[in-house]
Structure 1
Amino acid sequence: MGKIGIGLNLEAVRTSHKNFEWGVEFAADLGYEYIEPMVHWGRELLSEARYFHSVSMLDDPYRIKDCVEKHGIKLSAFSSHSQASKPEIAVEYLKQAARFAKEAGAPIINTHEGHKQPWTTAEEDFVLIKYSLTEALKVCERRGIKIGFEMHQTYSLDPDLYDKCLNLVDSPNLGANYDTGNAHLGGHDAVEWFDRVKDKVIHVHAKDISIEQSDAERGKVMGTAVGCACGDGVVDYPAIFEICRDLPQDIVFSVECETLEQAERSVKYLKEIRG
């Protein structure tokens, strides 16, 4: 049987204006086993000033590798979200992310389809998404890197269309980055949907949704950036963990929350229910 890992998406340190290295140390001190850093193209002012956690893919990937090894944790994935329906962005972004991930030691790069453009049809969009994923997977497959496709935007918040996205390219390196919070806000039962795609899940964004946010936004938004502390909201993590216990693949639950305090409570809660 596969193992359940507990990780922290570094979005948790974004509002604290801390840098990547600070975030890694913070996660390790709390007892997280993995982290999921954000990577970006080019240079970004706040990141260069070390007030933001994202790492440029123009940096040496050993900056990431050495830091996580220093603190005794591992990389679960890279947050490398690019608009797969916009090949002019996604193709080179994901190819670079795959090369960067290989050197840094991250096994997965996460992405999604992006926002709908007003001048394309749905049929055209799926051709564009397939093109982006096909080109990126050529680079990923040779390096043993997987793409985690997340339900987040125009099409992937519909279970049938999410299945279509996950089957656009016949590749063992394409899987599901399942976002519990986005599934719920999309108007679906997060446990039932997880069970539906469980064989394709390679990574999980553990995003809980408060009752207040659920009441205000469910069925009205295309996902959300971060959620509340895991265990404080509406997502039934014990039920999802039970499904995972029978799966052959290892799956990391990467916490997506808004504050440092929520990150602390999330790791305690998830470790407790994992046992």
Structure 2
Amino acid sequence: MKFGFLSGCLQDMTLEEKMAYAHSVGFNAMDVSCWPKENSRDYSGSDIDVENLTDEEAEKIIADEKKYDVEISSLAYYDNMLHPDANVRKQYADHLRAVIKAAGRLGVPLVGCFIGKNQTKSLQANFDDFEAIFTDFVKLAEENNVKLMIENCPMPGWQEDGLPGTISYSPELWDEMFKRVPSKNFGLNFDPSHLRWLHIDYLKAIRDYKDRIFHVDAKDVIVDEEKFHYYGIFGKKLNRQHEEDLGFWTPVIPGLGDINWSQLYNTLKEVGFDTYLSIEHEDRRFAANNDEIKAGLEYSYNHLNPIINEFK
């Protein structure tokens, strides 16, 4: 199993500098952030300008992978592909197509994205739109020898009231996704932290969707059960400190939260998963600058590396 991290957490560094850093720590993979150069998304990054990628730049990226022994596990671009504004939706769709084509040129096996949601439409209508749009995306991915995957985040920050901003966060919704778009090139970037705060059994989900899990996000979470019983399943509604503040859960780096990573690894091993585990660093306590971000990444590396390499 290759072990890496999502590159966008490190700011003001080139992709080669990030690869060199990854190699120095011991990582052998990297999930590369590929948002547009001009964007306002939190936790985003633009380490490859996919819309203007030249042959020379592509060759250098492939050479740097070999130089630093760091494999690009995925190209990452997560935006609302069902955005209610048709012009915005087209911009997002055009960029995702560019990401998919860049992955094909670079020999990267996976592209990660969100489905999103149009809050002005019913759930049925959202799934109808999803089916039309993602059938096209997956066909393009297949043509470029790439698999397309959805990360299972509800994105409560996309809604003023903190309700889900995507239609792809639970097993119920995954079943509908895969019924509508059955291609084996369409799967999950599996993030156990979201399932934990949603009170969904992440180990059972691994077993039930083993054939659809292409990549695993190593992100942890602390769930305050007392506050959960105070705010309820829909979360905090008044005096929210930031757009993701639901009052009872906090994202943290792996090793400092509720996820039992030994159990999770053993379950992945049980179902035959052996591709990529990638730290998604969204711990606000280790985010003030790159030194703090690196401290968080290295803490998690030291926690997870003995588990996935089965050091006794």
TM-score clears 0.5: yes
Deviation at 1:6, TM superposition (A): 1.1
2:74 to 72, 77, 86: 77
Aligned with 2:211 (options 194, 199, 206): 199
Alignment partners' CA distance in 2, 1:214 and 1:251? 37
Aligned residue type for 2:108: A
Aligned equivalents of 2:277 and 2:203: distance in 1? 14
Q: Is the 8 A contact 1:185 1:223 kept in 2?
A: no
The residue type paired with residue 304 of structure 2 is L
Post-superposition Cα deviations, 1:186-211, rounded to whole Å, max 9, x if no partner, equal 23232232222222101011101135
What fraction of aligned residue pairs are identical, expressed as a percent? 19
Superposition deviation, residue 45 in structure 1? 8.6
Aligned partner of 1:210 in structure 2 is 222
The equivalent residue for 2:265 is 241
Alpha-carbon distance in structure 2 between the residues aligned to 1:109 and 1:56: 15
String of CA shifts for 1:175-234, please: whole Å, max 9, x gaps: 11101112222232322322222221010111011356995799439989x942211111
Q: Which residue of 2 aligns with 1:19?
A: 14
Counterparts in 2 of 1:178-189, with a 5 A limit?
178-189=190-201
8 Å Cα contact 1:34/1:74 also seen in 2: yes
In the other structure, the counterpart of 2:134 is: 133
What is the identity, as a one-letter code, of the residue corresponding to 2:296?
Q
Partner residue in 2 for 1:59: 53
Q: After TM superposition, list the pairs within 5 Å mapping 1:70-109 onto structure 2.
A: 70-86=67-83, 88-109=90-111
Partner of 2:174: 162
1:27-49 deviations in Å (ceiling 9; x for gaps): 111101100011123x3399xxx
Superposition deviation, residue 235 in structure 1? 0.8
1:124 and 2:125 correspond: yes
The residue that corresponds to 1:266 in the other structure is 300
Check whether the contact 2:219–2:251 (CA below 8 A) recurs between aligned residues: yes
Equivalent pair of 1:190/1:235 in contact (CA under 8 Å): no
Matched residue, 1:175: 187
Q: Equivalents in 2 of 1:213, 1:264: separation in Å?
A: 29
2:192 & 2:59 partners in 1: Cα distance?
Answer: 31
Distance 2:59 2:194 in 1: 32
Q: Which protein has the larger Cα radius of gyration, Structure 1 or Structure 2?
A: 2
Contact map agreement 2:207 2:271 (CA 8 A) in 1: no
Question: Which one has more relative contact order, counting CA pairs under 8 Å at least 6 apart?
Answer: 1
- For 1:214 and 1:18, the matched residues in 2 are separated by 41
Distance change (3 Å), C-alpha of 1:189 and 1:269: same
**Gaps spanning 5+ residues in structure 2: where?**
84-88, 155-165, 237-242, 283-292
* In the alignment, structure 1 residue 44 sits paired with structure 2 residue 44: no
Distance 1:111 1:198 in 2: 19
Query: Which whole-Å CA distance do the structure 2 matches of 1:146 and 1:186 have between them?
Result: 27
In 2, Cα distance between equivalents of 1:264 and 1:211: 23
* Contact map agreement 1:84 1:133 (CA 8 A) in 2: no
Question: 1-side partners of 2:73 and 2:92: how far apart?
Answer: 21
Answer yes or no: is the 8 Å Cα contact 1:152–1:223 preserved in 2: no
- How many pairs align? 262
